[in-house]
Amino acid sequence: MRYLIKNAKIVTPEKVSQRKDILIVNGVIQQIERNIEDTKALVISSKNLHVAIGFCDVGTFVGEPGLEERESSDSISHSAAKGGYTVLAPFPNLQPVIDNKSSVRFVRECYVDSHLEVYPIGAVSKGSKGQDIAEILDMHEHGAIAFSDGNQSIQDTGLLLRALQYAKKINTPIIQCSEEQALSKDTYMHEGATSTSLGLAGMPSDAEAIMVKRDIDLAKYAESDICLHNISCKDSVQSVKDANKKGKFVYASVPAMNLIHIDEELHDFDTNLKVIPPVRGRKDRKALVKAVNTDRIDFIASNHQPLDLEHKDLEFLRSSFGASTLDTVFSSLLTFVAEEISLSKLVEKLSYGSRKVLGLPIPKIEVGEVADLVVFDPSSSWEVTTSSIFSKSKNNPYIGKTLNGIVHAVFQKKKVVHLTK
């Protein structure tokens, strides 16, 4: 199949290029020129077309196996395409937990026919229960790209230390969601003036910041790298900055929603803004945006946590934590933080940073390369409705809103998902 991307700017972390045409034949980039004519090619065009390497997400909830009522391999593939993603590294918190070589292989095999490249993250502990260490070396040999207990923060210091030591031997990252659970138990949102005014028990920033410091100290002791996933507060950013003064060994990510929202927006008890980590105060959001721009934060994560109505369509106190975001991450960032974070920087943090942390090769937009691309128009807008997003769950905070940025197509594995005609 022949595709001709017309009059598009190529976006990299360094720059946005002059407009070019890109001809792709059977999934391989054949030409990049100012003006290409090909009557046999299907043309992809828009008023303000842009091209970048496909987005790569870490920690995505994919649903399958075991939780297909919330997400399936089919729905996550469509959701990822809508959001511009070509690579996912899903967390192991499924049923059963991805804690052995067979489950790693199963997840990979679910996406053989998809445009997605999926690299499972294996569990650090058996069942992600935080007690006995899982078969890390065995899972690594069968395709696990990193190790984490996912949204179950590892509380046992000895367990995390052993995992860091194993990871150092095989040069694979440990990804930790830092949270001191004794401080966050039975809380509903960020602790601050808003939680006090609403009469809700709040989760203090220290629940994260204290554990971030512990995790950094352990990584330093083990002489191993660590990725602190989904940090959300100013103190965590400072700890990452301080740790890396003498050399980079601590990597960090931030959820897209924490770059956009603050706790004051929860006054109307919107359950789709009830997430972990919680959206925090103004100073925290400002510090996170600055950390993205100064590369203290390595990548932006979707924090995609789809939930069915049984778990989400409840009063605020009973509603489960999580938002279905994969379809709308890029568009929401373009809509709400474009004046604070440049397009090149957003592309860097959605496409490049996560690949670097995972040790994946960085695709190139050059003649002869297999196309791993997202084609989008940042100036176009679309209305988010339950039918315009493809995630099986509809707990998306932007339903009913109009967002900037339409993804027209994604290319990966010599396949294409052409989303607009």
Encode pLDDT of 31-45 as tens digits: 999 999 999 999 999
* Mean per-residue pLDDT, 151-163: 96
- Kindly report the average pLDDT of the chain as a whole number: 96
Dihedral of alpha carbons 100, 102, 104, 106, sign: negative
Residue 310, judged by CB atoms within 10 A of its CB (0-12, 13-18, 19+), counts as exposed
**One-letter amino acid of 126:** K
Proportion of the chain above pLDDT 70, given as a percent: 100
Encode pLDDT of 368-402 as tens digits: 999 999 999 999 999 999 999 999 999 999 999 99
Q: What is the pTM of this model?
A: 0.97
- pLDDT reading at 166 higher than 80: yes
pLDDT band, residue 419 (cuts 50/70/90)? confident
**pLDDT score for 118:** 97
Q: What are the φ/ψ torsions at residue 313 (nearest 5 degrees)?
A: -85, 65
Percentages helix, strand, coil for the chain, rounded to the nearest 5? Answer: 35, 25, 45
Proportion of the chain above pLDDT 90, given as a percent: 97
* Mean per-residue pLDDT, 181-203: 96
- pLDDT reading at 421 higher than 70: no
Residue 63's closest CA among 352, 282, 412, 322?
Answer: 322
- pLDDT reading at 79 higher than 70: yes
**pLDDT score for 183:** 96
- Could you tell me the two tokens for 148? 């984490």
Encode pLDDT of 226-235 as tens digits: 999 999 999 9
State how far the Cα of 27 lies from the Cα of 36, in Å rounded to an integer: 17
- Could you tell me the two tokens for 26? 């059977």
First to last CA, the chain: 16
Asked if 261 and 288 count as a contact pair (C-beta separation under 8 A), the reply is: no
Encode pLDDT of 281-340 as tens digits: 999 999 999 999 999 999 999 999 999 999 998 999 999 999 999 999 999 999 999 999
**pLDDT score for 420:** 73
- pLDDT reading at 113 higher than 80: yes
**pLDDT score for 15:** 87
Q: In this structure, how many other beta carbons lie within 10 angstroms of the beta carbon of residue 234?
A: 20
The 3-class secondary structure across 349-370, one letter per residue, is HHHHHHHHHHCCCCCCCCCCCE
